[in-house]
Amino acid sequence: MKPFAYVKPLDVDEALRAAGPAVKFLGGGTNLVDLMREGIERAETLVDLTGLPLDEVDELPGGGLRIGALVRNSALAADRRVRARYPVLSQAVLAGASPQLRNMATVGGNLLQRTRCRYFYDQAHACNKREPGSGCDALGGFTRGHAVLGVSESCIAAHPSDMCVALAALDATVEVRSVRGTRRIPLADFHLLPGDTPQVETALADDELVTAVELPPAPVAANSRYRKVRDRASYAFALVSVAAALEVRDGTVTAARLALGGVATKPWRAYEAERVLVGGPATEEAFGRAAEAELAPATVRPGNAFKVDLARATIVATLRELA
């Protein structure tokens, strides 16, 4: 591993003053440390955030929740308010990684985790995300885990997070701070499509720190579910995942939230499917039409074409259960 300086700030302001292009913030370290060992992430300075007062889940006026960036994934999943008001979020977090990793991993780190594309990790292969302009060996390679939505000719890597899929469905907002001030970024705008610059994955500037995630009140989320399909029962990334919330009155869908994971280059809010669902009948046929509308723009390759049918089936099954 390349040598680096280690800094342990006493408060958030000191951490912000240390920020910069060659600086990485350390939360749980469950992704960053692996990447630094492999020489894929390179930092001159590591700013250790552990111990800073960003590890609480607080009530927001009006019924939402504010989740500190250093809240551990296991604590978030166990929070009784999250479980009661946003069960899809608790289920999504519990669907990710292993208990040991969830005990270490933080909410802020989960937002910023890098892709698990095998070519990104293997430096013998070309990867535009790791080395901009070098090419993408996944395009003609093994694509079982790769995305079919939001892809470009530069990158087809799927976003790896489960938690972020639930946050997308819940209209979460990411609070970020720097010495320049505080701003709030809707989760839908926080992660970026790869386009021609797959190395730029988020709207976060070099000097900004994620300090919290805010959940607005969402009564529909009380009836919500996260369903993850993967190659083995635990500790595997999603082939397809669905975060859904549904409200049905007299057989008609009155509110719907839907987001997809495993199939897209960023946590994928399924706006088109929601448009089809709301105001329509809560039937399996209508759920299928909504899924097809969302998946119509999919760009598939031989290795991942199965994801379109799998996503349709998973969306229908999840909505049927909620209805």
Residues that bind ligand SF4 (CB under 6 A): 115, 117, 119-120, 127-129, 136-138, 155-157, 198
Provide the minimum distance between the beta carbon of 195 and ligand SF4 in the complex, in angstroms, as a whole number. Answer: 12
Count the neighbouring beta carbons within 10 Å of the beta carbon of residue 244: 31
Query: Residue 157 or 311: which CB sits closer to ligand SF4?
Result: 157
Q: What angle do CA 210, 69, 71 make, to 5 degrees?
A: 170
Give 129 or 191: the residue with its C-beta nearer to ligand SF4: 129
Other CB atoms within 10 Å distance of the CB of residue 7? 15
CB of 189 to ligand SF4, least distance (A): 21
Closer of 88 and 127 to ligand SF4 (Cβ): 127
Q: Minimum CB separation from ligand SF4 for residue 199, in Å?
A: 9
Question: By C-beta, is 136 or 286 nearer to ligand SF4?
Answer: 136
**Residue with Cβ nearer ligand SF4 (138 or 229):** 138
Q: How far is the CB of 155 from ligand SF4 (least distance, A)?
A: 3
Alpha-carbon span 184 to 216, nearest angstrom? 13
Minimum CB separation of residue 129 from ligand SF4 in Å reads 4
Give whichever of 107 and 138 is closer to ligand SF4, judged by the CB atom: 138
Closer to ligand SF4 by CB, 106 or 154: give it: 154
Residue 111 C-beta: closest distance to ligand SF4, Å: 18
Least Cβ distance, residue 136 to ligand SF4 (angstroms): 3
**Residue 118 C-beta: closest distance to ligand SF4, Å:** 8
**CB of 72 or CB of 129, closer to ligand SF4:** 129
The distance of closest approach from Cβ of residue 185 to ligand SF4 in the complex, given in angstroms and rounded to an integer, is 23
Q: Are strands 252-261 and 268-269 parallel, antiparallel or unpaired?
A: antiparallel
Would you say 51 or 132 has its CB closer to ligand SF4?
A: 132
User: Degrees (nearest 5) of the Cα angle 233, 238, 244?
Assistant: 105
Buried b (16+ CB within 10 A) or exposed e, 258-285: bbbbbbbbbbbbbebbbebbeebebeee
